[in-house]
Amino acid sequence: MKTAKHPFRFPFKTNYGRFSEDGRSYIITRPDTPRPWVNVISTGPYGAVISQTGSGYSWLHHASLNRLTRWDQDMIRDEAGRYLYIRDEQSGRFWSASWQPTKTSYEFYECVHGVGYSIITMQKDGIRSEWMIFVPEGEPLEVWRVRIRNVSKKTRKLSLWSYMEWNLGEAPDWHREFHKLFIETSFHDADKVILAKKRLSPLKNEKGEHWNKTWEYTAWHAVNLPVTAACGDKQAFLGNYGSKSSPAALQKGAYVGPTTHRWDDGIASLQVPVTLKPGEERTSLWTLGAATSEKVALNLAKKYQNFSHVEKAWHQTEILWDKLLGSPVVETPDAAFNVMTNVWLKYQAMSARFFGRTAYYQTGGAYGFRDQLQDSQVFLPVRPDLTLRQIRLHCAHQFASGRVFHWWHPLSEEGAPSRYSDDLLWLPFVVLNYLKETVNYSALLEKVPYHPGPENIRLTEPIYRHCVRAIDNVLNRFSERGLPLIGTGDWNDGLSATGRDEKGESVWMGHFLYGVLMDWSRLMESLMSQGVISKSEDHRRKRYLQRAARLKKTINRLAWDGRWYSRATCDDGTVLGSRQCRDGKIFLNAQTWALMNGIVDSPQRKRSILSSLQKHLYGPHGSLLLYPAYRTPDSRIGYLTRYAPGTRENGGIYMHAAVWAIQMECAISRPQWAWELYRRLCPVYRGMDPERYVCEPYVTPGNVDGPDSPTPGRGGWTWYTGSAAWLFRISTEWMMGIRPDWDGLRIRPCIPKEWNGFRTVRRFRGAEYRIRVLRDKTLRGDRQEILFDGKKIVGDLLPSTPGKQHDVVVLIPES
Ligand code: GLC
């Protein structure tokens, strides 16, 4: 195969921006990017989303059930958010400190999205403003540090005006005229604070009462400078039939009408006078947040009116992120791979997927049983305790029957019992990976209560049992022909109608289950030999192995279509993903997982799958999930067929699955293909053609349009995608090949010929490995040699000695 040459170099500059020197921030140099390019800032429980135009929203605990500020999901207008205006009191001219909502011309514009913060810098009429927003670690609030500098030659009398609409609860609030009647705002002049409370909570309390309960928080907005006036009423700010681009208050220089119309459309706006001599600069501190009582709210407002507290909080947040992104650090010849692996994939998975659980194209807040379990794997090399915490949380949302919630809401604890076949199996899958990293077998003995669930059964068992129940549950849901039933879908949610009558089957589930059974049996052996579980479990282990062997045979007998594996069957027996189908002839996961998990023994079948993948699914922008797209909705299959052809799961590049193709290529030792697939989907490279790709070049998208769409190559649904954590793992564990295994850290690099090697530092089971991979002319084929602390070792497993630093040199053949 040929690897495309590309002329792109760090900092990957386009008409819209570039990476910063250290790769830890992305600098957007003009506000009219093809779509909103955002930052999702959260370390939990609070979070804020901000786009390069200054738009976005904020929440506490849950981005949909407890959103603090109103927002309108509109990728084209991107004109809803919390804003800051600047008014020249002498001329009466005004503009916003970000491009939205006034969209004025400017002398300079820059939006820096960094790890844990964003800064929008703008210069207009000789006034330079720098608006920084960040979320202090562990606090229920966001801080705005606003610097205003007079770069003109005369003294300027200015005023700053903030503006946001209160949402205080569920979003979107469909019943706005109803909900506004419960919101009460008040201004506390001495403290320079606006408070907002809500007399009605949209959330239930423990007794299940819904409609007679106070919203538990007090929201506030505060500033550290003296305030001319404050406003809690939307009409007094915008004017009747007014607009955010030209609010009546800014036109007039004063709020228009009563400012504390207590039960009207609740907003928060503070007006702050600032006079600056030429060259002078003033910094102000603003906060927005929600606390558990008025007292706590006022205290927090006060705390962050103080510069030293703000500095300290920022410093702590920086340290937290440094630690979270600290391991592993990689240095390869490819700068895009480096920035994605060292910074952005981890940051995206942690900040947006794990802590915030929300973004711009998809707003959320809930936990998906399979989703956040998979995401939690991003912490394995650096904070495996967070993976374990997530494992416990998911165990607590499993029922004694072994079934689980497909998703559930923190705060309200409402959830949907899953009828998807795969959800529960991710529990043992992630536990296996946690144990390979840590060998902390005692975690398996930790007791966690099940969720009483629809059956209302109270039971507490060790995590080991939770996993075994999950596996047994899947083993009990088989078709007569011997394949796992698909339920209302498997990993692919969109196959939502395939198994409604409990008849449809999933071939991919077969591949997945086979891998889990094999790995779990291996774990059981160690657990028995170490006395962690009783020897009587051996009958289970044997049963798992028998079932695995039978399953593999059945898949190979029933699901081989002649050229590749079919994907699933519907209730009525219709086969999906076969040559006979008009649409959806071939599906990606049914091939990649078969190869990754050792389902394919015949070399001829392997060759046939690989050539079919190349022919039908490996496209110029990544691997398609299926091909060709479904042209017409099919009620036997599900909503997947109802998506516009070529988009998302219907024949688009669905990033989560597309990155598994890279893992598969590494698993079968095809480094050039792995690299080619990586490069085709890498957001940094895709982003070099911003007009086509449209998305942020620094985070993975959920999907990229496929050939059946009118806009192939267009990305969407960025940030909130499981692909980030996976691509991070696949990059380090499979491409770089540094993989935790039961007996130690395994090294098997699978790097392209363009790379002469790489360096990295990896912490593992208490030891630190300084690894260098180098090419060696004398080596041939797939031979590699390892020098461990200067001594040659046999095999590819590194010994581990806790507390030690090791020097590892891996020699691999020149290609
Ligand atoms: C969505 C779901 C995820 C699912 C994927 C594929 O991202 O949140 O759980 O695996 O789609 O259908």
Which residues lie closer than 8 Å to 295 by C-beta, 6 or more apart?
Answer: none
**What pLDDT, on a 0 to 100 scale, did the predictor assign at position 261?**
63
Ligand 1, atom 5, lies closest to the CA of 492
For residue 179, what are its two tokens?
A: 């909900």
For residue 776, list its beta bridge partners: 813
Q: How far is the CA of 371 from the centre of ligand 1 (A)?
A: 7
Separation in Å, CA 719 to CA 62, 190, 471, 496:
16, 41, 31, 24
For residue 552, list its beta bridge partners: none
Ligand 1, atom 9, lies closest to the CA of 371
**What pLDDT, on a 0 to 100 scale, did the predictor assign at position 546?**
98
What atom of ligand 1 comes closest to residue 721's alpha carbon?
7
Q: How far is the CA of 60 from the centre of ligand 1 (A)?
A: 24
Q: How far is the CA of 627 from the centre of ligand 1 (A)?
A: 18
What atom of ligand 1 comes closest to residue 657's alpha carbon?
6
Whether the Cβ atoms of residue 250 and residue 290 lie closer than 8 Å to each other:
no
What atom of ligand 1 comes closest to residue 493's alpha carbon?
12
Among 372, 364, 362, 378, which residue's Cα sits nearest to residue 397? 372
Mutate to test the pocket of ligand 1, among 493, 637, 650, 659 (most ligand atoms within 8 A of CB): 493
Q: How far is the CA of 433 from the centre of ligand 1 (A)?
A: 20
Q: Measured between alpha carbons, how far is 390 from 368 in angstroms, rounded to an integer?
A: 11
What atom of ligand 1 comes closest to residue 494's alpha carbon?
12
Q: Is the CB of 375 under 6 A from ligand 1?
A: no
**What pLDDT, on a 0 to 100 scale, did the predictor assign at position 2?**
46
Which residues lie closer than 8 Å to 603 by C-beta, 6 or more apart?
Answer: none
Q: Measured between alpha carbons, how far is 616 from 610 in angstroms, rounded to an integer?
A: 10
Cα 592 off chain centre by: 23
Q: How far is the CA of 239 from the centre of ligand 1 (A)?
A: 43
Q: Measured between alpha carbons, how far is 496 from 494 in angstroms, rounded to an integer?
A: 5
Give the pLDDT confidence of 351-384 residue by residue, as tens digits: 999 999 999 999 999 999 999 999 999 999 999 9
Ligand 1, atom 8, lies closest to the CA of 371
Q: How far is the CA of 405 from the centre of ligand 1 (A)?
A: 14
For residue 244, what are its two tokens?
A: 């955010």
Whether the Cβ atoms of residue 402 and residue 457 lie closer than 8 Å to each other:
no
Among 31, 153, 164, 160, which residue's Cα sits nearest to residue 94? 160
Q: How far is the CA of 754 from the centre of ligand 1 (A)?
A: 34
Q: Is the CB of 368 under 6 A from ligand 1?
A: yes
DSSP for 515-557, written as a single string:
HHHHHHHHHHHHHHHTTSS-GGGHHHHHHHHHHHHHHHHHHHH
Give the pLDDT confidence of 706-719 residue by residue, as tens digits: 999 999 999 999 99
**What pLDDT, on a 0 to 100 scale, did the predictor assign at position 802?**
85
Beta strands 141-150 and 405-408 are: unpaired
What CA dihedral angle connects 513, 518, 522 and 524, to 10 degrees?
A: 40
Q: Is the CB of 371 under 6 A from ligand 1?
A: yes
Q: Measured between alpha carbons, how far is 673 from 775 in angstroms, rounded to an integer?
A: 19
Give the pLDDT confidence of 450-469 residue by residue, as tens digits: 999 999 999 999 999 999 99
Give the pLDDT confidence of 308-363 residue by residue, as tens digits: 999 999 999 999 999 999 989 999 999 999 999 999 999 999 999 999 999 999 99
Residue 496 has pLDDT above 80, yes or no: yes
Is residue 628 reached through a cis peptide bond, with omega within 30 degrees of 0 on the bond before it?
A: yes
- Indicate the SS3 state at residue 747: strand
What atom of ligand 1 comes closest to residue 640's alpha carbon?
12
Q: How far is the CA of 86 from the centre of ligand 1 (A)?
A: 43
Separation in Å, CA 674 to CA 358, 668, 731, 753, 804:
30, 10, 10, 11, 33
What atom of ligand 1 comes closest to residue 491's alpha carbon?
10
Q: Is the CB of 649 under 6 A from ligand 1?
A: yes
Average pLDDT, the chain: 96
Give the pLDDT confidence of 196-245 residue by residue, as tens digits: 999 998 887 667 777 788 999 999 999 999 999 999 999 999 999 999 99
Q: State the Cα angle at 124 between 120 and 127, rounded to 5°.
A: 85
Residue 304 has pLDDT above 60, yes or no: yes
Mutate to test the pocket of ligand 1, among 362, 367, 371 (most ligand atoms within 8 A of CB): 371
Q: How far is the CA of 266 from the centre of ligand 1 (A)?
A: 36
**What pLDDT, on a 0 to 100 scale, did the predictor assign at position 1?**
46
Ligand 1, atom 1, lies closest to the CA of 493
Q: Is the CB of 88 under 6 A from ligand 1?
A: no
Q: How far is the CA of 491 from the centre of ligand 1 (A)?
A: 6
Q: How far is the CA of 370 from the centre of ligand 1 (A)?
A: 8
- Indicate the SS3 state at residue 811: strand
What atom of ligand 1 comes closest to residue 654's alpha carbon?
6
| H/E stretch holding 437 | helix 426-438
For residue 507, what are its two tokens?
A: 């071939």
| H/E stretch holding 330 | strand 329-331
For residue 419, what are its two tokens?
A: 């009828």
Q: Record the pTM.
A: 0.98
Q: How far is the CA of 583 from the centre of ligand 1 (A)?
A: 21
Q: Is the CB of 364 under 6 A from ligand 1?
A: no
Q: Is the CB of 673 under 6 A from ligand 1?
A: no
Sign of the torsion angle spanned by Cα atoms 75, 79, 80, 85: positive
Is residue 45 reached through a cis peptide bond, with omega within 30 degrees of 0 on the bond before it?
A: yes
**What pLDDT, on a 0 to 100 scale, did the predictor assign at position 724?**
98
Q: How far is the CA of 542 from the centre of ligand 1 (A)?
A: 33
Which parts of 439-506 fold into alpha helices (H)? 463-475
Q: How far is the CA of 493 from the centre of ligand 1 (A)?
A: 6
Among 715, 82, 718, 72, which residue's Cα sits nearest to residue 361? 718
What atom of ligand 1 comes closest to residue 371's alpha carbon?
9
Q: How far is the CA of 53 from the centre of ligand 1 (A)?
A: 29
Q: Measured between alpha carbons, how far is 562 from 786 in angstroms, rounded to an integer?
A: 42
Mutate to test the pocket of ligand 1, among 656, 660, 718 (most ligand atoms within 8 A of CB): 656
Ligand 1, atom 12, lies closest to the CA of 492
- Indicate the SS3 state at residue 436: helix
User: Is residue 5 very low, low, confident or very high in pLDDT (cuts 50, 70, 90)?
Assistant: low
Q: Is the CB of 488 under 6 A from ligand 1?
A: no
Mutate to test the pocket of ligand 1, among 421, 425, 491 (most ligand atoms within 8 A of CB): 491
Three-class DSSP labels, 662-701? HHHHHHCCCHHHHHHHHHHHCHHHHCCCHHHHCCCCCCCE
Ligand 1, atom 6, lies closest to the CA of 492
Among 3, 56, 37, 42, which residue's Cα sits nearest to residue 683? 37
CB atoms within 10 A of CB 178: 10
What atom of ligand 1 comes closest to residue 489's alpha carbon?
12
Rg of the chain over Cα atoms, rounded to whole angstroms, equals 28
For residue 499, what are its two tokens?
A: 């198994």
Q: Is the CB of 493 under 6 A from ligand 1?
A: yes
Q: Is the CB of 374 under 6 A from ligand 1?
A: no
